Amino acid sequence: MEGRLNCLLVAGGKWHDIDFARLELLKLLAEDQRVRVRVLEDYSNLEALEQADFLVSYTCDVTPSLAEQEALRRYVQGGRRWLALHGTNSILRFMEDDTIDTPNWAPVFMDTLGSIFQAHPPIAPYRVEPTGVEHPLVEDIEAFEVEDEQYLVQVTAPIEVLLDTEFEGQAGRFRANPWKKDRHPVLYLRHLGEGAVCYLTLGHCRGHYDLQPLMDFYPKIERGAWELPVFYELLRRGLRWAKGEL
């Protein structure tokens, strides 16, 4: 067995069941006994970042300061890997006209990630398809249906898309509307310097109390792609990639 691997898991933010996602990711990380995990809610502990061999994030509306953005960029450029999940690339502002804005207030962060979240339609089943790019992350992964937040993003840097989805129409209350028929990345790689980011947009989850203060009690438990074995396979492969095994 090789030596210890230090993982920094950043799990925090709004409007999602962060407890559920954090626990599921910790269980997956625990499958490799070499991995020791430090869990934080944001990116403010730059010493912890520097000590991490790889980074995993599951957040929503967690916006790093400029110093943190620059540290994350150096982290990746210097040769390390970042598995970024679901809402990591989101900045959300609920406006007085009942719309949702997604401002790019962290351009260094979004450039490092390779995309910025713009909108998603109401949760409904949609199809995820391989793009034909050969990579161990998607080897033998076939097209599948998932009921999740279908992320519509603005690409901010060169990326290599491995899985994508098609959308056309109106995306709920988001200001970024309407959307012409186009493909949107679901799983991609963003190479930067000696390192890289692997971004997977799937993974929505919400419990009864995760929309407070907007709503005291949310009636439906939502688990999105977490209900699918293929999602856990993609997560396991993503973690292997982050450790440098793929």
Could you report the per-residue pLDDT of 72-82, keeping only the tens digit for each? 999 999 999 99
Instruction: Indicate the DSSP class of residue 150.
Output: -
Is 152 in contact with 182 (CB distance < 8 Å)?
no
Kindly state the average pLDDT of the residues 208-237: 97
pLDDT in tens, 105-153: 999 999 999 999 999 999 999 999 999 999 999 999 999 999 999 999 9
Q: Does residue 60 register a pLDDT over 80?
A: yes
Q: Report whether 22 contacts 11 (CB < 8 A).
A: yes
Average pLDDT, the chain: 97
How many Cβ atoms are within 10 Å of 124's Cβ, its own excluded? 9
pTM of the predicted protein model: 0.98
Sequence-distant contacts of 139-143: CB under 8 A, at least 24 apart: 141/230, 141/233, 141/234
User: Quick one: average pLDDT of 30-51?
Assistant: 98
* DSSP assignment letter at 241: H
Domains of the chain: 5-242 (3.40.50.880)
Q: Beta strand 124-130 with 144-148: parallel, antiparallel or unpaired?
A: antiparallel
Per DSSP, helices labelled H in 30-65 are 46-51
Q: Whole-angstrom Cα distance, residue 172 to residue 98?
A: 11
pLDDT surpasses 90 at 1: no
